[in-house]
Amino acid sequence: MSAVVVEVDGCEFQRLVSTAVKMELTELVARLQKFAPPWLSESWDNVGLLVEPSSPHVIDKLMLTNDLTEAVANEAVEMNVSMILSYHPPIFKPLKRLTQCSWKERIVVKCIENRIAVFSPHTCYDTLQGGVNDWLISPFGMFLSLINHGLFNVLQYC
């Protein structure tokens, strides 16, 4: 594991980069979906593998981000990453074209051109027991587990 210092808008961030493990994209996606199954996601969400380079695609550098912006995509290209795990999905509404007209289209094009896979877990990680929702409520001394029953949500406090 090595540390890389990156400056963004005048602020320095330390990025940890590991190239110790290499894994085929399909295997990595299967492991991510086993950890947080797609059925945990909300019906309106767009989760899972959003950009898939042609096979074979070995993941040897994975970048984690909350939001996949153009700056993050540029950094991913500079760091030669093979996959971005973006908490929020960069593709939410259907794209009608892939041009340079919008920032979302430019990100997708950049990832495709540079063979960078994009995966977004979003609400799967929110509803996962011990996931984002539980982490957010933890300062209040309650353990929150959200169980989606289709018509209503049941909140459990332990």
Structure tokens given for 154: 């049941």
Same domain, yes or no, for 94 and 122?
A: yes
- Whether the Cβ atoms of residue 122 and residue 89 lie closer than 8 Å to each other: yes
Does any domain span residue 2?
no
Digitized pLDDT (tens) for each residue of the chain, 158 residues in all: 566 666 656 666 666 555 567 899 999 999 999 999 999 888 999 999 999 999 999 999 999 999 999 999 999 999 999 999 999 999 988 889 899 999 999 999 999 999 999 999 998 888 888 887 777 777 765 444 444 444 334 444 44
Q: Which domain holds residue 153?
A: 130-158
- Whether the Cβ atoms of residue 53 and residue 117 lie closer than 8 Å to each other: yes
Give the CATH number of the domain where residue 69 resides: 3.40.1390.30
Does any domain span residue 73?
yes
Same domain, yes or no, for 155 and 98?
A: no
Same domain, yes or no, for 106 and 123?
A: yes
